[in-house]
Chain A
């Protein structure tokens, strides 16, 4: 019997799910509520200069890439499986759209982050 290649997608899905659960709500709170309303953090916390500094730092680059790419892979897998459960069986098309989208998002994010020079 042929070994499934699903572990690749499932691992990205799992990593994305873990990251989403751990930092997702905190990110929504910080970027969507706390900073704009000046709660806890000062409104200029997310100013252009601060964000640029974050994306110039290697640790910052890795964090931003992980949050964007792994969230995308998580979403791609979940949407793919959900469509399957709901009876959409254009397997190849769905796969290409879902995982292709996540792959494109990952490449674009990585390229953009690399282009931000210190």
Chain B
């Protein structure tokens, strides 16, 4: 190996419910090379220094959304963050903020999953078509209306970033509202009315105060703040026009 071995200090916030009353920091010295991600650093700890450290990971290439953690207090995918950027200083890794810690770097995602299911994150066809009628066609322009919002990998970094979700966990939150927009904005979908009952509530779009940190931390370039803002406009128009639009009052 051309690199001379460098050692970096990684502090991990440990929480083992059977022995820790509250989370505690534990420090490890990890030898690393310039091509090693923070995830690889944590894997080194588990493989060679302390097998009790728990964390989630799968793909190692920012596709699966499992390895999100707070790295020096910023929500990041640990597979997409490199140890060299913290050297010669140390770095601190801890479980994603705003979500209950299950164990060490693992958070309990129940709230996120429940909310995700509640928005019907699938296409509800505008018109039922039989197989014989063929596929649902869409132009590239129609696809552009939602495509960036479909890149979400459910990594929950935006939930750790969102101060509103931190203050009030009833708020649906950035990622799921962006996904809601992804389906509502799809020309093949007809489920807007069903989804917007939540969207138009305080727990929906209106829980957002346009801080915008969600869009900054998203590793996939999704812009939840933009999705929410577009829908605030839609929701406001609907609020004022519902009584003069035919069938609008029950939406």
Physical interaction between A and B: yes
Q: What's the dominant secondary structure at chain B's contact region?
A: helix
Which chain B residues numbered 197 to 218 have a C-beta less than 8 Å away from chain A? 197-198, 200-204, 206, 209-211
B141 CB to closest chain A CB (Å) equals 27
**Are A85's CB and B209's CB within 8 A?**
yes
Counting chain A residues whose Cβ lies within 8 A of the other chain, the interface size class is 10 to 19
Which A residues are in CB contact (< 8 Å) with B202?
2, 4, 6
Q: Which residues of B lie under 8 Å from residue A10 when comparing CB positions?
A: 206, 232, 236
Closest residue of chain B to A6, judged by CB?
B206
| In the complex, A90 has a CB within 8 A of chain B | no
Q: Kindly state whether residue B48 has any CB partner on chain A within 8 Å.
A: no
Q: Tell me the minimal C-beta distance from A94 to chain B in angstroms.
A: 13
Residues of chain A lying within 8 A (CB to CB) of residue B206? 4, 6-7, 10
A11/B240 in contact, CB under 8 A: yes
| B163 lies within 8 A of chain A by Cβ | yes
CB atoms of A81 and B209 under 8 A apart: yes
Return the CB mask of A12-23 against B: 1 if under 8 Å, else 0.
001000000000
- Among A31-56, those with CB < 8 Å from B are none
Query: Is B187 in contact with chain A by the CB < 8 A criterion?
Result: no
On whether the beta carbons of B236 and A3 are closer than 8 Å, the reply is no
A87–B164 CA distance with the chains assembled, in angstroms: 10
Assess the B232–A3 pair: CB atoms within 8 A.
Answer: no
Q: What chain A residues lie within 8 Å of B163 (beta carbons)?
A: 85
Binding site for A on B (CB under 8 A): 163-164, 167, 197-198, 200-204, 206, 209-211, 232, 235-236, 239-240
A-B contact pairs, 17 of them (CB 8 A): A1-B197, A1-B200, A1-B201, A1-B203, A2-B202, A3-B239, A4-B206, A7-B232, A8-B239, A10-B236, A11-B240, A14-B236, A84-B209, A85-B164, A85-B209, A85-B211, A87-B167
Minimum-distance CB pairs A-B, first 10: A7-B239, A7-B236, A6-B206, A1-B201, A4-B206, A81-B209, A4-B202, A3-B200, A11-B236, A1-B197
